[in-house]
Structure 1
């Protein structure tokens, strides 16, 4: 739908400027009049490219946390939802979020509920939309938004810690790859041309292998790029299918060293989400269904989705998870204790904090383990290349000396 810029006057004579999506100028005028605005100037915005990279199309968790906190504070002050949206929109620094909030504001003006308006924009997480609907129904939207702010704050901090811990190994790995590539592509050909001047020289097998790899990279680099691009595209396409996503998520869990840390991240996310949903009064079956989509792993998600039938039979969450070997015994025991004592949300929140600490320790251990492994691997590869170059040189010197 075309986007129009408008300039209008309010009943108080105030001049307003903004944008609105409509079929034509007549529809824009109708929309403005419904808002008790008197249009002064309307013009069609220039057509902009709607092609956006997927990673640019997402709003960061930090921005969502700030939005939830600001919205909660404003609602607590007794301001209605529509005015709260307008105030938050003006305070938002993220340009993409500002545009989305402007559209959300317009949808609410047209009569939609806040959850319906937010749900029509795919940028808001489904969990946030569901929680807003719960807050609207129960009349506790300000409390719900504050809980969501705390939830997304913790999620953001957890992800940042993992990213920071893995940044150094990633940088060292890239550096190692570049060093090896320079040796193979730039340095090795110099010695290869020298070896060719001595056709009778004995060249070891490992040297021939390195020389072959070097020739393939130099002469067939375009083929390597095509094969790599095709392989990456195939993996990416397969990972988006239900079967592929399950397959790769299962690998993440079982991957040596990394798998344990990743599992703790998923379990921590489940504990925090489930505890927050329970505290907000969301029905148990709905809470489990939301957790299945939020945990970010298809293997854990399938276990949670399969719980629905047993929950309908009257079994508790703790009893069901106790049968599953996927979830650690600690969290299942804590859930059972929480269900029996009626303090499930508090226990889950503390359990999530415990796993956050475990994740921090695990990431530090993983980083300290990866650093020497990468250095040793780089040393072996570079050493192998250097030895492969030096050995034929010694052979040639020996041959020349004997002559």
Structure 2
């Protein structure tokens, strides 16, 4: 809401100078008219205190991606039903369960009522509405296809959410298995093994090599567990501090791409996201160069981000999109073929969307293969370590039984 300073005369003839809050100048005049005040002058003085607080905190407010996706879907439905934008925003703000998001939508509505475009109203909240969202809304407002554009944005957010959910679900089991394996082995070496081995040491009998190795490892962990823990924490903290440097972060991301399993997976995720974003922007009427630059905003890997920016620069200098993307070495041949076909036939947006779907399937296949290899290897490794511990304990017992016999 906005604040208005006014000068008027009350019904009793008293001169009055004050301020009030209202959605718009027309709304302010209506409020004063209902109060029986004759206006002599009125002017806006800015946003209300609550609106100012929301705007100042706009860069800090975080809204779940599924809430933004649902908002896009609802707004598209209401606009396609010929409901005015301010009325649609008002309806959605009342229905949303996220309190902070409801306040943001109320502020956006007030700005639209004041005469700003919807894209301008969204620009105060960059953490909620990213550059792609604002660009699509701008394109939709200019072409009169805002409802259709918002539908595409909702589809895009839902696809991203599904892929993210699948990746998270796929990684939960191996991560939990790894943590449990490490925890079990550490407990065995630090708490269980020393109590058992102590019985053999008192016998002053020559122990097998495996038992001596086990005693050495157990003793080392018991003595140096604190320095090891502090050292591991120090390495993690140092790595985080080092990655704050753009140069070091670029080196680290380049190194990730060279890892056998992680590299192809990172390429597949980022190339699919880039292609899907570019296809939506292209089919919504955004110029190709602008679409290519905006599409790089969703790329998490710094090295790949720079390659795609260079591709946009090559297109600006006259290179075809196919050749520019081929030089990045981030796309499989089939995906490049579909991009070339779309560029020649004028159906770039449609074919890039299909290419992104194929790349998502390829990414999921590679992730499934990686997990199918990793899980058995982890189980075999853990079983081998436990077997070594058990054999190291059983060998002295068998030797003792032989001596007694």
TM-score, L = length of structure 2: 0.79
1:171-186 → structure 2 map (5 Å cutoff): 171-186=176-191
Match of 2:9 in 1: none
Preserved contact between residue 266 and residue 295 of structure 1 (Cα < 8 Å): yes
1:132-147 → structure 2 map (5 Å cutoff): 132-147=137-152
Aligned counterpart in structure 1 of residue 249 of structure 2, from 245, 248, 251: 245
Worse-matched range after superposition: 277-286 or 110-119: 110-119
1:266-285 → structure 2 map (5 Å cutoff): 266-285=270-289
Q: 1:320 and 1:187, CA in 2 relative to 1: closer, same or farther beyond 3 A?
A: same
Match of 1:59 in 2: 63
Preserved contact between residue 202 and residue 395 of structure 1 (Cα < 8 Å): no
Match of 2:202 in 1: 197
Structure 1 position 178, deviation (Å)? 2.0
Provide the C-alpha distance between the structure 1 equivalents of 2:175 and 2:198, rounded to a whole number of angstroms: 35
Give the secondary structure class of the aligned counterpart of 1:306.
helix
Deviations 1:253-274 (A, max 9, x none): 3322233233222221121111
Structure 1 position 381, deviation (Å)? 1.7
Match of 1:356 in 2: 360
Larger Cα-atom Rg: 2
Match of 2:7 in 1: none
* 1:327 aligned onto 2:323: no
Preserved contact between residue 275 and residue 346 of structure 1 (Cα < 8 Å): yes
Preserved contact between residue 277 and residue 295 of structure 2 (Cα < 8 Å): yes
Preserved contact between residue 272 and residue 348 of structure 1 (Cα < 8 Å): yes
Provide the C-alpha distance between the structure 2 equivalents of 1:33 and 1:318, rounded to a whole number of angstroms: 50
Provide the C-alpha distance between the structure 1 equivalents of 2:111 and 2:211, rounded to a whole number of angstroms: 69
Gaps of 5+ in 1: 5-25
Structure 1 position 277, deviation (Å)? 0.8
1:221-240 → structure 2 map (5 Å cutoff): 221-240=225-244
Preserved contact between residue 339 and residue 355 of structure 2 (Cα < 8 Å): no
Preserved contact between residue 201 and residue 396 of structure 1 (Cα < 8 Å): no
Gaps of 5+ in 2: 2-17, 36-47
1:82-93 → structure 2 map (5 Å cutoff): 82-93=86-97
Aligned counterpart in structure 1 of residue 175 of structure 2, from 148, 167, 170: 170
Deviations 1:339-366 (A, max 9, x none): 1111111111111111222223223222
Match of 2:45 in 1: none
Worse-matched range after superposition: 227-236 or 332-341: 227-236
Match of 1:391 in 2: 395
TM-score, L = length of structure 1: 0.80
How many matched pairs? 366
Deviations 1:300-321 (A, max 9, x none): 2111111233222221110222
Q: 1:94 and 1:214, CA in 2 relative to 1: closer, same or farther beyond 3 A?
A: farther
Structure 1 position 212, deviation (Å)? 4.2
